[in-house]
Structure 1
Amino acid sequence: MKLSFSSLLLILVLLSSCQEDPKVRALQQEKETQKREVIFSNINKGWNFNSQPLNQTSRELTTNWAEWRVFLNELGQKPKSSIGAFQQKAKTLSKRAAELNINIPIKYSIPEVKSRIAVLTTKVNAINLYIHLNQIPDQKIVQLVQEINTEVASMQWQLDEIKRKSEIKTEDGEGDMLRMLDTARAVPTNPVPKIIK
């Protein structure tokens, strides 16, 4: 008798504790909705990429380097409707940034440019990661947007510097002199004596 009464009491306690109050649930949902609206508003304000070519070299590359043009176009298009739209845009930007390593013009396919592309890709992937979290760190995303703007500008200036350096004419004999300065190709001044047995 005691066992059945105890088990009945335990079941009643469990059933009553499992029922949630609809008012509490509604309040929690309202708080969560307000929080998501604030996050959306902060991201919407901070999502301002500078996608305009800063110099002539960058403008020329937008016609010759399709991946660069597509990436800049994606940066220039701002989603407006919801967090989901920003998540989709971040995913697309991440894909476009990864494609920048494809078909780099030969003149610009050097470690300096590739490392800037790697940094840019890392920062875009970080935005993609943060915006897909359950608790979205909106301030971190806004900070990354500003950092990406800086990286895009520095890459454009790097491309311009490469072009300017390539247009500088070399003087007669300068190529030979540079080869002589290359320590990997230099002839040792003290030859190793041969041991005669």
Structure 2
Amino acid sequence: MKYKIALFLLLIFALQSCQNENDKRLAENEKEAKKNEKIFNNINKAWIFIDEPINEVSEQNVRNWNEWRDFLKELGDKPRKTIGAFQKKSTAISKKALALNNNIPSQFNQPQIKARIAILITKVKMMDLFIHLNQIPDDKVAFLIGEINKELVSLERQMDKIVEKAKIPKEEGEADFLRMLDTTRAIPNSAPPLDQNLPRVE
């Protein structure tokens, strides 16, 4: 009889313990869901990219430079509903950003444009990395969205500067002067090396 009572009490204790663990697990799941909802809302609020050209030059590039057009279009399509949708969109934006290095129009195939594209790609990749972490730092993702927008503006303004600079007429002889400054066109030193054994006048 004692054994039956002890077994009965042990069974009640085990059931009570399972109930407590279930309650604890449900509370943790609810807490995690609220946290994820907050992260989603913060990213959703911050997810605003400058997907429209800010100047005439950039507008022309949308028509002529496919990679630029595709990148801006990808930025313009805002994901909805889940954090997973934002993660997929971030990966797609990252791929389109990498493609900007391809087929750069000859007019813009210059170091200052390539440098700005490289910075833009780096910031897009950082955003993609942060949004794919298990614990998403939504503040960093929001900050990087702002940084990406700044880089977009910087890139488009640099394109505009290049076009405006090309419109300035060159002065007579300026082209020859610039060619003379080009060190890659310099005449190689073809003088024979000095013989160390020859007497020198001092």
CA shift at 1:70, angstroms? 0.7
CA shift at 1:181, angstroms? 3.7
The percent of aligned pairs where both chains have the same amino acid is: 49
SS at match of 1:21: helix
| Letter in structure 2 aligned against 1:152 | L
| Letter in structure 2 aligned against 1:146 | G
1:106-145 to structure 2, matched below 5 A, reads 106-145=106-145
Structure 2 Cα separation of the partners of residues 90 and 99 of structure 1: 14
| Letter in structure 1 aligned against 2:27 | L
Structure 1 Cα separation of the partners of residues 184 and 118 of structure 2: 29
Residue aligning to 2:178? 178
CA shift at 1:183, angstroms? 5.5
Structure 2 Cα separation of the partners of residues 139 and 187 of structure 1: 56
Relative distance call for 1:118 and 1:172 in structure 2 (3 A) is same
| Letter in structure 1 aligned against 2:129 | L
Structure 2 Cα separation of the partners of residues 178 and 36 of structure 1: 59
Give structure 1 stretches of 5+ with no counterpart: 1-11
| Letter in structure 2 aligned against 1:85 | A
Residue aligning to 1:6? none
Structure number with larger C-alpha Rg: 2
Residue aligning to 2:6? none
Structure 2 Cα separation of the partners of residues 65 and 37 of structure 1: 38
Residue aligning to 1:99? 99
Q: Does 1:68 align with 2:68?
A: yes
CA shift at 1:178, angstroms? 2.1
| Letter in structure 1 aligned against 2:31 | K
Residue by residue, what CA displacement relative to the aligned partner does 1:133-179 show, whole Å, maximum 9, x if unpaired?
11000000000000000000000000011111122221221111223
CA shift at 1:109, angstroms? 1.0
Structure 1 Cα separation of the partners of residues 154 and 169 of structure 2: 25
Residue aligning to 2:147? 147
CA shift at 1:64, angstroms? 0.4
Greater shift after overlay, 26-35 or 75-84?
A: 75-84
Structure 1 Cα separation of the partners of residues 22 and 193 of structure 2: 94
CA shift at 1:54, angstroms? 0.7
Structure 2 Cα separation of the partners of residues 184 and 33 of structure 1: 62
Structure 2 Cα separation of the partners of residues 90 and 74 of structure 1: 9
Residue aligning to 1:3? none
| Letter in structure 2 aligned against 1:147 | E
Relative distance call for 1:128 and 1:172 in structure 2 (3 A) is same
Residue by residue, what CA displacement relative to the aligned partner does 1:88-126 show, whole Å, maximum 9, x if unpaired?
100100110011111111111111111111111111111
Relative distance call for 1:186 and 1:96 in structure 2 (3 A) is closer
| Letter in structure 1 aligned against 2:34 | Q
CA shift at 1:194, angstroms? 6.0
